């Protein structure tokens, strides 16, 4: 029965992915040449994708990492970095009132903070059961799971299958980019968590808002909630997922409002269940956005289809009268 449910889950998921990110037939909105596909996204622009290479989400990690580091410390990033630092500082001052307010409001509207799940499919790893698919039993748990990255991987798997079946380079590349950002966000946030060592909110403990910089490896492993609040890996991963989708499907106008609204709700849910402070979020959101932009930049390029038309409009044909004869001529305006 469980395996039938798993099969049904993936079948429904694939159907939803096909409906949400499907394309018109190839001749109508794509051009395929030299192992490339060009997708019309409106406004005279197109996204061009090369034929995807196997395991690109792994082989391109070094380039994506270097690109992210360079972009972080470029002149263009000075203002965003200042904004993130200032916002984080202000939120640190207001963390406890914000947490108390969110938790009190959640109780008023009967949103349970306790994480409750029902195991649907589990496998044994090293003799211990590991949950693969679990069904949340309340709304706060459902939102918390959205930020854990698994839904993004499932979305990527659906897009990969859809892309393979339909020979759609964009869908395959997007799936690869989702996996790539998942890895980058996991590594990056873990490094920062092990440097900052910020304690997660503990209900009823007024001294939970503490920083323990550079905790030992053993201490971190044994008492993870004492050190892993900053920055939020959940929100960084979710923001990178939304950004990858918007960068590859800019013509799908529903992605941004749905994605950003869901990100906000996940942030509130993690304050409600005591997993994070509000000040854990600005850096996480910035990391997710910047990293995803760099990954997308590496995997496709934007082509301005109007450029050739504009250049053509500069070329004018005329007829001149020269030495008693009518002669055709071309004039190119710079």
pLDDT tens readout for residues 75-119: 988 999 999 999 999 999 999 999 999 999 999 999 998 888 888
Of 55-69, 113-127, 159-173, 209-223, the range with the lowest mean pLDDT is: 113-127
Cα(27)–Cα(39) distance, integer angstroms: 10
Per-residue b or e along 281-315, where b marks 16 or more CB atoms closer than 10 Å to that residue's CB: bbbbbbbbbbbbbbbbeebbeebeeeeeeeeeeee
User: Which range has the worst mean pLDDT, 84-88, 146-150, 229-233, 308-312?
Assistant: 308-312
Mean pLDDT over 250-264 rounds to 94
Dihedral pair phi/psi, residue 203, rounded to 5°: -55, 130
Domain ranges of the chain: 2-332
Distances (CA, A) of 172 to 51, 107, 240, 293: 9, 43, 17, 17
Is it the case that residue 203 has pLDDT exceeding 70? Answer: no
Q: What is the mean pLDDT of the chain?
A: 83
Which is nearest to 150 in space by CA: 140, 169, 135?
135
Place of tokens 């709700």: 265
What residue spans of the chain are helical by DSSP H? 2-21, 26-29, 56-59, 61-72, 78-108, 139-146, 150-166, 169-196, 217-222, 233-248, 255-272, 281-299, 306-313
Question: Between residues 123 and 291, which one has the greater pLDDT?
Answer: 291
Going by pLDDT thresholds of 50, 70 and 90, the confidence category of residue 314 is: low
For the cut 80, the answer to whether the pLDDT of residue 331 exceeds it is no
Mean pLDDT of the 21-41 span: 64
Query: In DSSP terms, which residues pair with 50 in a beta bridge?
Result: 36
What residues contact 165, with CB distance under 8 A and at least 6 apart? none
Q: Tokens for 200?
A: 């997660």
Residues 6+ away with beta carbon under 8 Å from 93: none
0.85 surpassed by pTM: no
- Determine contact, residues 21/162, Cβ cutoff 8 Å: yes
Residue 25 predicted with pLDDT over 80 = no
Q: What percent of the chain shows pLDDT beyond 70?
A: 79
Give percent above pLDDT 90 in the chain: 55
Token pair, residue 334, equals 């710079």
């Amino acid at each position: 029965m469980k395996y039938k449910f798993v099969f049904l889950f993936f079948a429904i998921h694939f159907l939803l992915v096909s409906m949400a990110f499907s394309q018109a037939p190839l001749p109508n909105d794509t051009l395929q040449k030299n192992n490339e596909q060009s997708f019309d996204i409106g406004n005279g622009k197109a996204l061009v994708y090369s034929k995807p290479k196997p395991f690109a989400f792994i082989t391109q990690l070094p380039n994506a990492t270097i690109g992210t580091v360079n972009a972080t410390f470029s002149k263009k990033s000075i203002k965003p970095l200042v904004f993130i630092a200032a916002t984080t500082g202000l939120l640190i001052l207001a963390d406890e009132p914000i947490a108390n307010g969110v938790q009190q409001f959640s109780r008023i509207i009967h949103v349970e903070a306790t994480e409750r799940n029902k195991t649907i499919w589990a496998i044994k790893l090293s003799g211990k059961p590991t949950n693969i698919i679990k069904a949340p039993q309340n709304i706060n748990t459902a939102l918390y799971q959205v930020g854990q990255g698994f839904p993004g991987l499932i979305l990527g798997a659906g897009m990969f299958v859809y892309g393979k079946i339909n020979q759609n380079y964009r869908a395959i590349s997007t799936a690869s980019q989702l996996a790539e950002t998942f890895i980058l966000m996991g590594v990056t946030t873990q490094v920062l968590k092990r440097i900052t060592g910020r304690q997660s909110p503990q209900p009823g403990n007024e001294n939970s808002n503490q920083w323990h910089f550079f905790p030992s490896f053993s201490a971190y492993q044994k008492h993870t909630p004492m050190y892993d609040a900053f920055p939020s890996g959940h929100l960084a991963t979710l923001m990178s997922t939304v950004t990858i989708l918007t960068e590859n499907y800019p013509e799908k106008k529903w992605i941004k409002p749905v994605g950003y609204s869901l990100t906000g709700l996940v942030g509130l849910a993690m304050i409600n269940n005591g997993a994070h402070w509000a000040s854990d979020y600005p850096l996480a959101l910035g990391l997710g956005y910047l990293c995803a932009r760099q990954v997308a930049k590496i995997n496709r390029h934007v082509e301005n289809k109007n450029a050739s038309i504009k250049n053509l409009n500069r070329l004018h044909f005329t007829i001149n009268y020269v030495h008693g004869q009518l002669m055709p001529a071309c004039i190119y305006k710079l």
